[in-house]
Amino acid sequence: MDLLKYQAQSVFSQQHLLCLQDYTPDEILQLLSLAANLKQEQKLGIPHPILQGQTLAMIFSKPSARTRVSFEVGFHQLGGHALYISANEIGLGQRESVEDVARVFSRFVDGIMIRTFKQSDVEGLAKAGSIPIINGLTDDFHPCQVLADMLTVYEHKGRIAGLKMAFVGDGNNMAHSLMIIASKLGMDISIVCPEGYDPQEKVVAWAKANAAQSGSKVEIEHDPMKGVARADIVYTDVWSSMGQEAETEKRRVIFAPYQVNAALMAGAKEDAIFMHCLPAHRGEEVTDEVIESKQSVVFDEAENRLHAQKAVMAKLMNR
């Protein structure tokens, strides 16, 4: 499959990006194909102001460097203007209800990207508003990141289906979103985590149902070496996410055997790549030796947030 020449199998009918479980495999591939083409155009110096004159409201209840910069720069490259709004300014769900914010912003702007804690807030905006809503991250899902991840996998492996990814760490929002997108696109995935830190049962069930359709496999593994065996991609994330600071010391002890180091990478395929959504806590979930190795593609992955998110905005807002 050539992403640059991918031919859509159906009409792209999505109005929002809340969770990739809502998307068909074809719709995901349409996003990845557009991302690859927009990236190629940017590298060739070909402008693509397809959202000229539009405005994106960016609501941040959780801070982020990559999310803010990639969305703001990406929307500018698409010809529009991105507006940063902090949690203190809006008081989402406290100073003003989610529903009222959605109704008011629908009169002001052309789309909303929100990075917040509760998935229900993102869904509430979509239900009450009349403009596209993009999930920039919640405690449950991180769809924009995994679109960038799959674009990166394609660039380094030449395919997505038939590969195996091992995600080593907490069964968190990254594990959830990777399980969904991998299982929809025919990639085997192993979530390698300590007992008691498994992904949500609902998401595991979704992923296994997706895998039954795509011909891939989804497994939950508690032994790190078994989990990474024959993996084409080894992926990790921080052990303590925002909102889990009180558990940091406890988690360091529990997750220590799940550090991605040279010994664990040696258990994967010889040509396996290493991925991390960043920021990385070097010396905790990953060693410097791994993240700075030739196997590491973390900075290609970070760059691809820009291109993947441009594709999302272009598909949802260019109507």
Q: Which of 21, 54, 77, 145 is catalytic?
A: 145
Active site includes 81? no
Q: Which of 19, 259, 277, 307 is catalytic?
A: 277
Active site includes 139? no
**Mind giving me the DSSP string for 26-61?**
HHHHHHHHHHHHHHHHHHTT----TTTT-EEEEEES
Q: Which residues contact 220 (CB under 8 A, 6 or more apart)?
A: 171, 190, 191, 193, 198, 199, 204
Contact status, residue 280 vs residue 291, Cβ threshold 8 Å: yes
Q: Which of 115, 176, 251, 307 is catalytic?
A: 115
What b/e readout covers 95-108, taking b as 16+ CB neighbours within 10 angstroms? eeebeebbeebbee
DSSP conformation class of 200: P
Q: How far apart are CA 265 and CA 230, in angstroms?
A: 10
Q: Which of 140, 149, 232, 237 is catalytic?
A: 237
Active site includes 14? no
Active site includes 119? no
Q: Which of 16, 30, 121, 142 is catalytic?
A: 142
Active site includes 193? no
Active site includes 107? no
Q: Which of 16, 276, 305, 307 is catalytic?
A: 305
Q: How far apart are CA 111 and CA 187, in angstroms?
A: 31
Q: How far apart are CA 177 and CA 142, in angstroms?
A: 6
Q: Kindly list the catalytic residues.
A: 115, 142, 145, 237, 277, 305
